[in-house]
């Protein structure tokens, strides 16, 4: 079976600083991969290369067996890879529902210039995604009204409107209160399971990693230092010293 996402010899340097050091990586469908590492370890650089925001000096990125190295982000999205950011990228002046409708429009390759927003996306699809992320009751409120946890949910919901096979989430619980973190992650994981979406998520909270990841990859100095099941990786002495600070 071919990998859903695969990199071979992925390398990127800025001057003398190597931020991706010959990374060989494979992700299969259905996995929930947590990416951990200190700031500057190369986690976001790796994601940016995979999603087309950075072009590597060497190596390849394949998605569903097709070489996507250096392709523009919009082309990669249309192939089935979506991303949410550490700071939610929202239309704050639009309602929650309108935000999903806009995301649905973005999935289309050609858009009528005068098409009404309310008719631009399948209403049943919007209703279903709103229910998946528990935002139905707030669908007519402006996104600016939402607390941070629900902003994260809306950001992911907009990604789900793109109907991805793989969703990469950059710190989905960052900025979310301790009381909300597990609720937000439980909703996200349930939505991904319902949509049958494979996921990579960057995370610093070890409890979140233990509970929601099926696999963990630890980054140190631009390379993957450990990769495997959560208990094994989190118990690795190098990971505990260099990543977890234990």
Query: Is the domain of 124 the same as that of 151?
Result: yes
Query: Is the domain of 9 the same as that of 85?
Result: no
Query: Is the domain of 113 the same as that of 183?
Result: yes
The pLDDT tens digits for 162-209 are 999 999 998 888 888 888 899 999 999 999 999 999 999 999 999 999
What does the mean pLDDT of the chain come to? 90
The pTM assigned to this predicted structure is 0.89
Which range (67-81, 118-132, 225-239) has the least confidence? 118-132
Query: Is the domain of 67 the same as that of 128?
Result: no
Report the CATH number that the domain containing residue 87 is assigned in CATH. 3.40.50.300
The predicted model gives 19-45 an average pLDDT of 94
For residue 101, the enclosing domain spans 80-167+175-199
Query: Is the domain of 93 the same as that of 123?
Result: yes
> Residue 20's CB: how many other CB atoms inside 10 A?
24
Query: Is the domain of 142 the same as that of 194?
Result: yes
Looking at the DSSP bridge assignments, the partners of residue 53 are none
Q: What's the number of domains the chain is made of?
A: 2
Give a yes or no: residue 208 inside a domain. Answer: no
Looking at the DSSP bridge assignments, the partners of residue 33 are 200, 215
Query: Is the domain of 134 the same as that of 180?
Result: yes
Judging by beta carbons within 10 Å of its beta carbon (0-12, 13-18, 19+), is residue 3 exposed, middle or buried? middle
pLDDT of the residue at 113: 46
Backbone angles phi, psi at 72, to 5 degrees: -60, 150
Nearest-5° angle of CA 90, CA 94, CA 95? 100
The pLDDT tens digits for 74-108 are 899 999 999 987 766 787 888 999 999 888 886 66
Query: Is the domain of 84 the same as that of 24?
Result: no
Query: Is the domain of 84 the same as that of 66?
Result: no
Give a yes or no: residue 39 inside a domain. Answer: yes
The predicted model gives 60-85 an average pLDDT of 93
């Amino acid at each position: 079976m071919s990998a859903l996402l695969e990199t071979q010899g992925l390398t990127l340097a800025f001057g003398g600083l190597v931020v991706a050091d010959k990374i060989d990586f494979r992700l299969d469908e259905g996995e929930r991969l947590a990416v951990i590492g200190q700031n500057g370890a190369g986690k976001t650089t790796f994601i940016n290369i995979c999603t087309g925001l950075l072009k590597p000096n060497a190596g390849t990125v394949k998605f569903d067996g097709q070489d996507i190295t250096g392709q523009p982000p919009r082309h990669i999205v249309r192939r089935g890879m979506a991303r949410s950011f550490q700071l939610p990228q929202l239309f704050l002046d639009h309602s929650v529902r309108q935000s999903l409708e806009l995301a649905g429009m973005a999935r289309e390759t050609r858009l009528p210039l005068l098409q009404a927003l309310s008719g631009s996306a399948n209403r049943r699809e919007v209703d279903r995604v709103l229910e998946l992320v528990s935002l139905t009751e707030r669908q007519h409120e402006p996104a600016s009204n939402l607390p941070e946890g629900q902003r994260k949910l809306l950001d992911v919901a907009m990604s789900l409107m793109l109907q991805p096979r793989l969703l990469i989430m950059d710190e989905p619980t960052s900025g979310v209160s301790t009381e909300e973190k597990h609720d937000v992650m439980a909703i996200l994981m349930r939505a991904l399971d319902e949509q049958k979406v494979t996921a990579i998520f960057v995370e610093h909270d070890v409890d979140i990693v233990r509970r929601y990841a099926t696999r963990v990859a630890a980054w140190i100095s631009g390379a993957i230092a450990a990769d495997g099941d959560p208990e094994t990786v989190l118990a690795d002495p190098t990971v505990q010293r260099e990543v977890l600070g234990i």
